[in-house]
Structure 1
Amino acid sequence: MRVVLAGGGTAGHIEPALATADALRRVEPEAEITLLGTERGLENRLVPERGYDLALIPPVPLPRRVTPELLRLPARVRGAVRRTADVLRERRADVLVGFGGYVALPAYLAARRLGLATVVHEANARPGLANRLGARFTSYVAATSSTVGLRNSQEIGIPLRRAITSLDRASTRAEGRTFFGLPQDAPTLLVFGGSQGARRLNLAVDEAGEALTAAGVQILHAVGSANIDAVTPRPGYTPVAYIDRMDLAYAAADLVLCRAGALTCAELAAVGLPAVYVPLPHGNGEQRLNAEPTVEAGGGLMIRDTELNGSWLVQHALPLLTDPDRLAEMSTAAARLGHRDADERLVEMVRQAASEGGGGHGE
């Protein structure tokens, strides 16, 4: 089987695509797998590192407001669709799998033009433009939530790396804390806000740091590569630029302070790790919607970006970190919402779409 995955741009699109590729290779070792991306996306590093073929197409970012770029958009879309169609023909693709974002938009249109089987995966609670369009072309639509609002969608969760879905936090805790140079017996707060860090989270931790460490809490803080030179390690506080081994970071942690991207929410639920979610105040509000199910189930807390500060962390996060019974209850609640088999379920959908050909019964 020959599969093209359109999941470039951000980690939230790339990682589910790579997890799907890994699952497909486990089921069909001879499968020919290509990922679509652009020359400026994270996929240029992540895809080759994982050993997959990467084909580049022109980027087509969608303007959020009326600008001169909007007038050039139709021509850019046509050029990207032509290039994507060339890739699909060159790879003799049996099926296209799209994960949303600006790489998926021309891919769906090219697949439609070629009559190619198509599968759509929506990670967020609120779908974007690309997946709203792609879901009209096929009956094979997978989603994280049953309330996503896409026709024919099946709730399967988000495909995640095996390092995450196979993680046993309790049995790996000592390894995780040793890996990051943390003492074994202190309650641990893990803080991260994406590859560049998150200014609001960083400021709140800076304000609350002394009070947290004085109470016996230790902090593992991914501050972002641009900020690492401005912070100083101290007893109880371990700053790092970026965390490559998120599985070990999750194993080391008792509570997380983080944004609420779809991938983050899915990983924390899969491993049963309580979190304080601070949704980005931008976009269409999808981050708040991503975290709501876990928070409503009792597996986490949520605080508005503008309301997060050091005092809030001391008042709300510190009591949690020093209450192992409540943390255990929250862990159980979060884990009930986790999907550890989404990669395998999506691969079954891909195989079915490929076997039927033409991809869809959409409009």
Structure 2
Amino acid sequence: MRVVLAGGGTAGHIEPALALADALRQHDPSIGITCLGTERGLETRLVPARGYELELVPAVPLPRSLTPQLLAVPGRLAGAISAAAGILDRVQADVLVGFGGYVATPGYLAARRRGIPIVVHEANPRPGLANRLGARLTEHVFTGHPDASLPNAEYIGIPLRRDIAKMDRLSLGDKARSYFGLESDRPTLLVFGGSQGARSINEAALEAAPYLRRAGIQVLHVIGPKNTVEVEPPPGDPQYVILPYVDRMDYAYAAADFALCRGGAMSCAELTAVGLPAAFIPLPHGNGEQRLNAEPIVRGGGGIMIDNAQLSARWIVETVLPILNDPERVMRMSEAASRMGRGDADVALARKVLEIASR
């Protein structure tokens, strides 16, 4: 069997695709897997690092809605569709699974041209244009959010890496803290802003650093690969560890008692899968999907939320610090977050894909 996965640009599109690839290979190591991507996206680094074949097609950015701007792209889109169709022919694809992003649109249209079954997975409650188009071309549509607005969609959750989906956060805690140079017996705050970081979160956390340290809180702060820090907290006890990027997010989750982060679909899915409560600061731009991602977790008691404009060091000290200093509350929030998690979406989606392809 030959499966082609189309999802690129950001980790939110790529990681679910790679989690599905892992689940397919776990089921049958002989399954051929090819990932479609563009030279602009993170897939150029993430896909080869996970051992999968990557084929590139031209990037054709599309607006998030049906606007006159679409009239400017037919020529470039036609070239991308032809490139994707050539890849489908060369690998003799049995099914195409799309996760959104620039590469999904030509992938869907090429598969439709070749009569290859299409599977769509949408992680967010508000689908982008690529997956809205893909959902019109197939009856096989699956979502990572129960309220996603796609016709005939089945809620299945977001495929996650096995090392996160099946992680025992508590038993891995000591090893994870040692990995980052943290002490084993201090309350620990994890700060991150998605795969690229978030300046407003970075600035507020760094300003709050002296107060967190005086309260006995140690911090693991992932600032993002393109961000810099003008003034780092001085060395001291407790630790305030700053890293540009973390490849072992399973260790980062295991090291922490609480997180301060954005509300991306992957972040929400991973935090609930491992049972890590969080303070969510949704991205203030876009279509508001990050707020929608985090709202069910907050309603269920597994997190709190604040608007980006209201985030400050004072809010962290007055709101997050008391939670970290209350182990019983942290435990209740952790249990609530766990109840929201789905750690089997990769296997469930793999079974669906195999069934559809075998027909």
TM-score (norm. length: structure 1)? 0.95
Q: Which has the higher contact order (CA 8 A, sep 6+)?
A: 1
Q: Given the alignment, which residue of 238, 262, 265 partners 2:265?
A: 262
Q: Secondary structure at the match of 1:167?
A: coil
What is the match of residue 171 of structure 1?
171
Show the counterpart of 2:109: 109
Q: Which runs of 5+ in 1 are unaligned?
A: 357-363
Structure 1 residue 65, shift from structure 2 partner = 9.4
Q: How does 1:1-363 map to 2 (within 5 A)?
A: 1-63=1-63, 71-228=71-228, 230-232=230-232, 234-235=235-236, 236=238, 237-356=240-359
After TM superposition, give the deviation of residue 91 of structure 1 in Å. 0.8
Amino acid at match of 1:270: A
Q: 1:17 to 1:211 in 2, by over 3 A?
A: same
CA distance in 1, matches of 2:18, 2:37: 12
**Aligned residues of 2:64 and 2:129 also touching (Cα < 8 A):** no
**Contact 2:4-2:34 at 8 Å conserved across structures:** yes
- In structure 1, the residue corresponding to 2:186 is in which secondary structure? coil
Q: Is this contact kept in 1: 2:123–2:158, CA < 8 A?
A: yes
Rounded Cα–Cα distance in structure 1 between residues aligned with 2:64 and 2:3: 31
Q: Any idea what SS the aligned residue of 1:343 has?
A: helix
Aligned partner of 1:360 in structure 2 is none
Alpha-carbon offset, residue 229 of structure 1? 5.6
Change in CA separation of 1:4 and 1:64 when aligned onto 2, cut-off 3 Å: closer
CA deviation string 1:35-55 (max 9, x = no partner):
000012111111111111111
Distance in 1, matches of 2:333 and 2:231, equals 31
Identity %: 60
- For 1:242 and 1:298, locate their aligned partners in 2 and report how far apart those are by CA, in whole Å: 29
Q: Which residue is equivalent to 1:361?
A: none
**Distance in structure 1 (CA, Å) of the matches to 2:24 and 2:292:** 30
Deviations 1:41-82 (Å, cap 9, x if unpaired)?
A: 111111111111111000011246999975531111111111
Alignment partners' CA distance in 1, 2:32 and 2:49: 17
Structure 2 distance, partners of 1:70, 1:345, is 35
Change (3 A) 1:96 1:142: same
After superposition, the CA RMSD in angstroms is: 1.6
Q: CA offsets per residue over residues 200-259 of structure 1, 9 Å max, x none?
A: 001111221111110111111011234446343522311111111100110010000001
Question: Structure 1 residues 138, 69: closer, same or farther in 2, change over 3 A?
Answer: closer
Q: Is the 8 A contact 1:146 1:153 kept in 2?
A: no
Separation in structure 1 between the aligned mates of residue 93 and residue 15 of structure 2, nearest angstrom: 21
Distance in 1, Cα, partners of 2:260 & 2:143: 25
Moved more, 154-163 or 55-64: 55-64
> 1:147 Cα deviation (Å)?
1.6
Supply the AA of the counterpart residue of 1:211: Y
Q: How high is the TM-score relative to the length of structure 2?
A: 0.96
Q: Distance in 1 between matches of 2:67 and 2:350?
A: 40
Take 1:112 and 1:68, find their aligned partners in 2: how far apart are those partners? Answer: 24
User: The residue matched to 2:340 in structure 1 has which SS?
Assistant: coil
Partner of 1:359: none
Offset, 1:138: 1.4
Whether the aligned pair in 2 keeps the contact of 1:231 and 1:239 (CA below 8 Å) is no
Q: Classify the secondary structure of the residue corresponding to 1:230.
A: coil
Q: Distance in 2 between matches of 1:243 and 1:338?
A: 22
> Following the alignment from structure 1 to structure 2, what is the Cα–Cα distance between the partners of residues 173 and 246?
13
* Deviation of 1:294 (Å): 0.4
Amino acid at match of 2:94: D
Letter in 1 for 2:251: L
What SS does the corresponding residue of 1:283 show, helix, strand or coil?
coil
Q: Structure 1's 146 and 227: CA in aligned 2 closer, same or farther, altered over 3 A?
A: closer
- Cα distance 1:70–1:125, how it changes in 2: closer, same or farther (>3 A)? closer
Q: Please tell me the residue identity of whatever aligns with 2:48.
A: P
Q: Structure 2: where are the runs of 5+ without partners?
A: none
